[in-house]
């Protein structure tokens, strides 16, 4: 039931401020509202201090541990220094930028303002994630499900969480994905509904737990494991996967991968594709 807010920074003043104030930096008017209190209890705040090159090297392992340990994960990052590193994990964590220069000059007030914005944006995502009809859409494999709405989701969460249009564009993308959910044939409206991509391939979020993602490094990356446990800052069941099939006969074509280039499938009755694109 935990929510962790992590500040990724090399600024000693910010590191000291977060170390001293901890959860006192989190705005009470937000975290004490019914949703946050009932869903996450008391959120925590901590810094990930970057003081030496090895700290950057250790961040991926830290991020994986945070994804597994917490129900919710927000990473605030200095946009001028760590944007590339944070965006490597934008599918797993809810990343939110801040201006390192402003934070250094107005650390306390500015950081509280940034945290408040991040919590409000995360709340919009988190409430959708709690609704199973939207959760399945949010968990669609981002590289294997071919649809403009999925590309929009990835762009929003990797580049635009602080954008004033984040919430309406998130709602529009989810509405579009929900409209893609339909049975394989028009005459089967009483049967199972599938998310249908542009190919069309038919994605159904299964309840069976007979497969597991692989995480051995190499060949896998830390992001494979992080994305296999958390999506946009919300932890999910890593044992469930999507069953992917064609309207009839076998499934074939190009599908994504949890790392590196995707793979071509020549023919299969169906595919077990996890939300992190491992299959």
Which tens digits make up the pLDDT trace of 232-259? 999 999 999 999 999 988 999 999 999 9
Contact 228, 258 (CB under 8 A): yes
What's the average pLDDT block by block, 10 residues per block, for the chain (279 residues)?
94 94 90 87 94 96 98 97 96 97 88 96 97 96 97 98 98 98 75 92 90 92 98 97 93 91 86 96
Tokens at 10, concatenated: 């090399």
DSSP string, 134-161: HHHHHTS-TTTS--HHHHHHHHHHHH-T
Q: Which residues contact 121 (CB under 8 A, 6 or more apart)?
A: 94, 96, 161, 162, 166, 167
49: helix, strand or coil: strand
pLDDT of res. 78: 97
State the pLDDT at residue 107: 83
User: Any bridge partners for residue 264, and if so which?
Assistant: 254
DSSP track, 224-252: HHHHTTEETTEE--TT--EEEE-SSS-EE
pLDDT of res. 192: 83
Task: Note the pLDDT of residue 189.
Answer: 57
Distance CA 110, CA 149 (A): 33
Q: Which of 120, 88, 85, 126 shows the shortest CA–CA distance to 232?
A: 126
Q: What are phi and psi of 186, to 5 degrees?
A: -60, -25
The torsion defined by the Cα of 254, 142, 242 and 184, in degrees rounded to 10, comes to -70
DSSP state of 257: -
């Amino acid at each position: 039931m935990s929510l962790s807010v992590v500040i990724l920074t090399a600024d000693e003043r910010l590191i000291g401020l977060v170390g001293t104030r901890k959860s006192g930096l989190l705005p009470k008017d937000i975290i004490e509202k019914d949703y946050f209190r009932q869903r996450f209890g008391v959120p925590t705040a901590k810094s990930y201090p970057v003081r030496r090159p090895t700290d950057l090297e250790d961040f991926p392992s830290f991020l994986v541990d945070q994804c597994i340990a917490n129900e919710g994960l927000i990473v605030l990052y200095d946009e001028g220094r760590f944007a590339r590193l944070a965006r490597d994990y934008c599918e797993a964590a809810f990343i939110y930028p801040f201006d390192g220069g402003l934070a250094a000059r107005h650390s306390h007030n500015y950081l509280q303002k940034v945290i408040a914005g991040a919590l409000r944006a995360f709340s919009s995502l988190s409430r959708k994630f709690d609704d199973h009809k939207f959760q399945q859409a949010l968990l669609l494999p981002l590289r294997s499900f071919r649809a403009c709405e999925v590309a929009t989701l990835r762009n929003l969460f990797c580049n635009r969480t602080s954008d004033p249009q984040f919430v309406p564009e998130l709602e529009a993308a989810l509405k579009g994905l929900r409209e893609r959910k339909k049975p394989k044939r028009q005459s089967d409206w009483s049967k199972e509904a599938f998310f249908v991509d542009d190919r069309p391939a038919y994605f159904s979020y299964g309840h069976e737990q007979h497969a597991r993602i692989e995480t051995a490094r190499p060949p896998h990356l830390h992001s494979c494991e992080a994305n296999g446990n958390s999506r946009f800052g919300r932890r999910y069941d890593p044992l469930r996967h999507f069953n992917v099939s064609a309207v009839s006969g076998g499934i074939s074509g190009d599908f994504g991968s949890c790392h590196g280039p995707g793979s071509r499938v020549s023919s299969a009755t169906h595919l077990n594709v996890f939300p992190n694109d491992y299959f």
